[in-house]
Amino acid sequence: MYSAEEIQARLREKPFRPLRIVASEGRRFDVYQPDLILVGRQDLMIGHANLASPTVYERVTRLALIHLVALEDIPVAAASGNGQQ
């Protein structure tokens, strides 16, 4: 399990490197905009944007930190806007 501080540290890296959040049930969330991730003590709120407005979320997914199993680097050349795979 990742702590809130570990997740925040990864999101604050400069320059930001896109990452994939992997949940225990297999869901994957690609993060290209770190400002759309809200880190809490017990969970994450992941904002999902579209390509037309990549810094404003349209919907939010809440993920308990206990279900976060991996933070993976993803290629920079991928599309922008937080999304679920």
pLDDT at 83: 67
Residue whose token pair is 């969330």:
29
Residue whose token pair is 């969970």:
43
Model pLDDT for residues 45-79, shown as the tens digit of each residue: 999 998 899 999 999 999 999 999 999 999 876 55
Q: Rounded to two decimals, what is the model's pTM?
A: 0.83
Which of 41, 36, 38 is closest to 2 using CA atoms? 41
Domains contained in the chain, CATH given? 4-84 (2.30.30)
Model pLDDT for residues 9-59, shown as the tens digit of each residue: 999 999 999 999 999 999 999 999 999 999 999 999 999 998 899 999 999
